Structure 1
Amino acid sequence: MTHKVEIENKLFFLHPLGGLFWEEKSLLLISDVHLGKVSHFRKFGAAVPRKAIHKNFLLLDKIVSDFQPFQICFLGDLFHSSLNKEWELFENWVGKTPSEILLVAGNHDIIAPEKFEKLKISIFPELIIDSFLLTHHPEEREGYFTFCGHIHPSIKLKGFGRERIKLPCFFKSKNQMILPAFGQFTGTHSLDPEDSDEVFTIVEDSIIKV
């Protein structure tokens, strides 16, 4: 179930898979997929199931189907490292996805730009659309509201007794929203919200504001 938020008088939908959809622009924002990470770890002996390689692509299919966006913008760290077998899967996914694809490069995006250009994917250091700044690293810039990633935000909540749970989240401050990592093999970093911050946690198939 998506969660509707209004930012700068524009309507956005938060998806429990971790993406954000800007309805007016038909633009889907996704951050930190880290494709290739499973293959990278398997190469060095990590006991990661092979079927995990396909999980991210199934989830990408799901969120694209839910919104059917005109454009998809990846906010950095689309790939975890250098080329591996998952690039072919990515090529196949791009070929069957009708949306225009953009990439705001992150610190992990080290694959040669020419490889993306062959797939008609445009790469940018950052993007500005109306009053919104799209970056990989968090950055608060005067006059803009920023959408970014990189942090893989999560929040720790108290459960019953001494129980503690850590949930991925969309982390919104006055002029910035940090998207959760979309990738399924990425880990998270706990953030401590200030009173003025807004936190939207991902709980199974729902978004819950805490």
Structure 2
Amino acid sequence: MSYMTQNIKIQDQEFILHPLGGVFWIEKSLLLISDVHLGKVGHFRKFGAAVPRKAVHQNFLLLDKLVSAFEPFQICFLGDLFHSSLNKEWQLFENWVAKTPAKIVLVAGNHDIIAPEKFEALGIEIFEELVLEEFFLTHHPTEHETLFNFCGHIHPAIKLSGLGRQRLRLPCFFKSKNQMILPAFGTFTGTHTLAPKKEDEIFVIVENKVIKV
């Protein structure tokens, strides 16, 4: 399967937006991913929801695709990496970390309630927020006077009108002047529709493509 990415320049740095929901910072060889919500499928199944078991593995397969596309030196998860407390998906995550050569860090989100020691045992550092050069990495959207904010939490989507009465709701990278909200990476995460202002730049994800609208 081929993916069509979108290149974008922010603060004189080059970034690639990938239709699986990641942002690759070329100069830093850093891959940003937000709101994977691992464990959510197991959480649903535990409470009787009819979610197929193979959905558990889907996130890891997609993470592998994203990582192999860029072979990043470092991966930064922008919060809500895990949806709930420990369940069977933690073991799958441990296996995934063991075979992923990139250094992994986590900017903690509101769902990240698993003990930090569990992450640290895997060599994953946890931060409340991170500043890298002119960029401010957070989970919740956070305005900063001088730094550009990459964040998640919102699971952004926008509504587009098609021919006739068609209304499409598409996940997107939502960029305002000093901020980009990443789409949720995980399956079964849901989306929240935002209304863009004139000056905002919207990059929708549709049919394995990232398209500026």
Same-fold status (TM-score > 0.5): yes
Query: Equivalent residue for 1:139?
Result: 142
Query: Equivalent residue for 1:125?
Result: 128
* Cα deviation digits, residues 145-204 of structure 1 (max 9, x gap): 000000000000001111101000000000000000000110000000000000000011
| Residue 103 of structure 1 pairs with residue 106 of structure 2 | yes
Alpha-carbon distance between aligned partners in 1 of 2:191 and 2:64, rounded to the nearest angstrom:
23
Choose the corresponding residue for 1:175, options 178, 184, 203: 178
| Residue 201 of structure 1 pairs with residue 204 of structure 2 | yes
| Residue 13 of structure 1 pairs with residue 19 of structure 2 | no
Query: Equivalent residue for 1:53?
Result: 56
* Cα deviation digits, residues 7-53 of structure 1 (max 9, x gap): 01100000000000000000000000000000000000001000000
Gapped regions of structure 2 (runs ≥ 5): none
Query: Equivalent residue for 1:85?
Result: 88
Give the SS at the match of 1:116: helix
Query: Equivalent residue for 2:115?
Result: 112
Query: Equivalent residue for 2:193?
Result: 190
Alpha-carbon distance between aligned partners in 1 of 2:79 and 2:210, rounded to the nearest angstrom:
23
Gapped regions of structure 1 (runs ≥ 5): none
Q: After TM superposition, what 4+ stretches of structure 1 lie above 6 angstroms from structure 2?
A: none
| Residue 62 of structure 1 pairs with residue 59 of structure 2 | no
Question: TM-score scaled by structure 2?
Answer: 0.98
Question: TM-score scaled by structure 1?
Answer: 1.00
| Residue 31 of structure 1 pairs with residue 29 of structure 2 | no
Alpha-carbon distance between aligned partners in 2 of 1:193 and 1:185, rounded to the nearest angstrom:
24
Give the SS at the match of 1:41: helix
Matched to 1:54, the amino acid is: H
Matched to 2:21, the amino acid is: G
C-alpha root-mean-square deviation of aligned residues, in Å? 0.4
* Cα deviation digits, residues 86-129 of structure 1 (max 9, x gap): 00000000000000000000000000000001000000000000
Displacement of 1:205: 1.1
